Amino acid sequence: MIPLRIKVEANADQPFVVRLRSFEADGREQKTEQLNPFDVALERVGPEGADYVGEGGPIRILGIDPAKVDGDVLLVNPWRGTADRLIRSSSLHNTFLVTERCDQVCLMCSQPPKKHHVDLFTYFETAALLAPEGATIGISGGEPTLFKAQLFELLRRVLDARADLSFHVLTNGQHFEEGDWHAMNLIDRGRVVWGIPLYSRDPAVHDQIVGKEGAHTQLLKNLALLCCLGAQVELRTVLMHPNADGLPSLARFITSRLPFIRTWALMQMENIGFGRMNWKDLFYDSSEGFDVVGRSLDLVRSRGIDAWLYNFPLCTVPEGYRHLAPATISDWKRAYRDECDGCSLKAVCGGFFDWHPANHGYSNLGAIQ
pLDDT at 23: 67
Range of the domain at 35: 5-86
Residues 177 and 233 placed together within one structural domain of the fold: yes
pLDDT of 278-315, one tens digit each?
999 999 999 999 999 999 999 999 999 999 999 999 99
Residues 57 and 126 placed together within one structural domain of the fold: no
pLDDT at 30: 43
- Which ranges in 283-332 belong to alpha helices (H)? 291-302
Q: Taking a C-beta distance cutoff of 8 angstroms, is the pair 52, 40 a contact?
A: yes
How many domains is the chain built from?
2
Domain contains 156: yes
| β-sheet bridge partners, residue 192 | 167
Sign of CA dihedral 7, 11, 13, 14: negative
Residues 226 and 347 placed together within one structural domain of the fold: yes
Q: What is the CATH number of the domain that holds 187?
A: 3.20.20.70
Domain contains 367: no
Domain contains 16: yes
Three-class SS of residue 195? strand
138: closest CA among 83, 68, 193, 196? 193
pLDDT at 35: 72
- Domain end point (choices 86, 108, 134): 86
Rounded average pLDDT per 10-residue block, the chain, 369 residues: 92 94 55 74 94 89 94 96 96 93 97 94 98 96 97 98 98 97 96 98 98 98 97 98 98 97 97 95 96 98 97 97 96 91 95 88 90
Domain contains 132: yes
Domain contains 116: yes
Domain contains 360: no
Domain contains 330: yes
